[in-house]
Amino acid sequence: MLSAVAMREGIATRHSALQDAAGDEVAAAFTPTAENAFDGAIQSATADALQAPAASEWTTIVVRRGQTLSDIFAKEGLGLSEAVAIVGLGGDAARLKNLKTGDKLSLRKTDDDQLDELNYEFDETHTLQVRRSDSGYDALTIEAEIEHRPAQLTGVITSSLFAAAQKAGLSNRLVMEIADIFGYDIDFALDLRDGDRFSVVYDQLYKDGKKLRDGDIVAAEFVNRGQAYRAMRYVDADGNATYYTPEGESFRKAFIRTPVDFIRISSGFTTGRLHPILNVIRAHKGVDYAAAIGTPVKATGDGIVDFVGVKSGYGNVVTIRHGAKYTTLYGHLSRFRAGLKVGQRVRQGQLIAYVGMTGLATGPHLHYEFRVNGVHQNPLTVALPRANPLPKSVVAHWRMENATALAQLEALSSTRTAQLDTPAALVPPPALHN
């Protein structure tokens, strides 16, 4: 801030300049009397500024486990009343009552150790700003602008999807998203072959020029055993995202193929098998997935619980009705999900029980059956019904909105195919991706 003397000298200079430029008539408006009055205002403002406490530098605090806003204020030499007043502002300021470990607060104090300003970034796009005012404190939430930058990459399977995606530079979250998109058609534990390939067009999210994280997959292709599967993202009016083929057919099936993360298939579907305990030949009308006791078991489709309890050789078992046509059975369970009961609706992928070895079982595994109109079908090969397609009225507009992503996907796929068909020595090095 300029001193009063410096400001007074500036006034004299301005008066002289006015005389030179416009003559005495114009400069007369800037009389000594006016100068004296202005001098008084300057002196008053300078005195007020000198009396007002100046703000200190910013301090950043990382919230430790169990810390509250009052704890932090006490450590920083601020009063409890200030913490109470800020939380009492309501709205997003109320979030300060439930600070989480690792949260960051930035604050600065006046020279007389009162809070001048506090910033709390409670998620990646929103920051709460609290500032001192004449009436106490004011709170305002600022929303940051998130920039979406397109990105793309492609990879080839040599051992597993995870290894190939990691080599290509894809984040773990997007690897799981690929598995979710194509998991209805491809069993990533059993169906993958060396040479299978994938291409992905996706968003990267940036804030203030810095990358926050990968966004969502916009379009993707997976080629498994020579069969190409292509998916595009559709977001409905309620913000729900689903993936469809470019023609509008749903990638989501009414059932997922496997209900458990398993180690191996210990017994397949067969009409004749020597039972390991009964020692007789009998049909095995399901698939046994070997897994550790306690491994979560998921419902393979939306439905209503038809039975929960013990059933002869199945041990602890759950059966689910999926409309009038389909039924699934989950046997040899160690225990059921708490609160699971007959008549309860369950969603596809929802936890229903845990792997065990109850009933006639020689080791821990899940016995899974899939029935169509009461007839047992092989869960590994049965044709699974798809969910409803996109309405034809929206497909054309949706394809137009995603034309660029679809063209990028086509280019990626064509380039990768050409590389695989070209001798290794002639293949150019892959482009680097941020």
Cα gap 221→407, rounded to integer Å: 12
What is the predicted pLDDT for the residue at 419? 64
Instruction: At 188, list the tokens.
Output: 């990533």
What is the predicted pLDDT for the residue at 417? 66
Q: What is the DSSP letter of 154?
A: E
Topology annotation, domain 264-377: Glucose Permease (Domain IIA) (2.70.70)
- Domain 147-250+388-428: state its class: alpha beta
In terms of Cβ atoms closer than 10 Å to its own Cβ (0-12, 13-18, 19+), residue 316 is: buried
Determine which of 40-44, 162-166, 280-284, 343-347 has the lowest per-residue pLDDT on average: 40-44
What is the predicted pLDDT for the residue at 2? 43
The pLDDT confidence band at residue 6, using thresholds 50, 70 and 90, is: very low
What backbone phi and psi angles, to 5 degrees, belong to 432?
Answer: -85, 145
- Domain 59-143: state its class: alpha beta
Contacts of 408 (CB under 8 A, 6+ apart): 150, 152, 201, 219
Question: Using only C-alpha atoms, what is the Rg of the chain?
Answer: 34
Looking at the predicted structure, is the pLDDT value of residue 283 above 80? no
Q: Residues 49-92: pLDDT tens digits?
A: 444 445 568 999 999 999 999 999 999 888 888 899 998 898 99
CA–chain centroid gap for 51, Å, is: 50
Handedness of CA 335, 339, 344, 349 (dihedral sign): negative
What is the predicted pLDDT for the residue at 30? 41
Which residues on adjacent β-strands are paired with residue 108? 117
Can you spell out the DSSP letters for 344-401?
-EE-TT-EEEEEB--SS-SSSEEEEEEEETTEEE-TTTSPPPBPPPPPHHHHHHHHHH
Q: Residues 23-33: pLDDT tens digits?
A: 444 344 444 44
Locus of tokens 């003397």: 5
Q: Residues 313-327: pLDDT tens digits?
A: 899 999 999 988 999
What is the predicted pLDDT for the residue at 203? 93
Cα gap 18→27, rounded to integer Å: 5
The pLDDT confidence band at residue 360, using thresholds 50, 70 and 90, is: confident
What is the predicted pLDDT for the residue at 18? 41
What is the predicted pLDDT for the residue at 415? 75
The pLDDT confidence band at residue 129, using thresholds 50, 70 and 90, is: very high
Cα gap 191→381, rounded to integer Å: 12
Average pLDDT in the chain: 82
What is the predicted pLDDT for the residue at 353? 97
Mean per-residue pLDDT, 160-186:
89
What is the predicted pLDDT for the residue at 52? 47
Locus of tokens 């009492």: 88
The pLDDT confidence band at residue 331, using thresholds 50, 70 and 90, is: very high
What is the predicted pLDDT for the residue at 416? 67
Locus of tokens 């046994």: 288
Mean per-residue pLDDT, 172-192:
86
Count of CB atoms situated within 10 Å of the CB of 140: 12
Cα gap 64→76, rounded to integer Å: 14
Q: Residues 210-255: pLDDT tens digits?
A: 898 899 999 999 999 999 999 999 998 888 888 999 999 988 878 8
Instruction: At 73, list the tokens.
Output: 């204020």
User: Any idea how long the chain is?
Assistant: 434
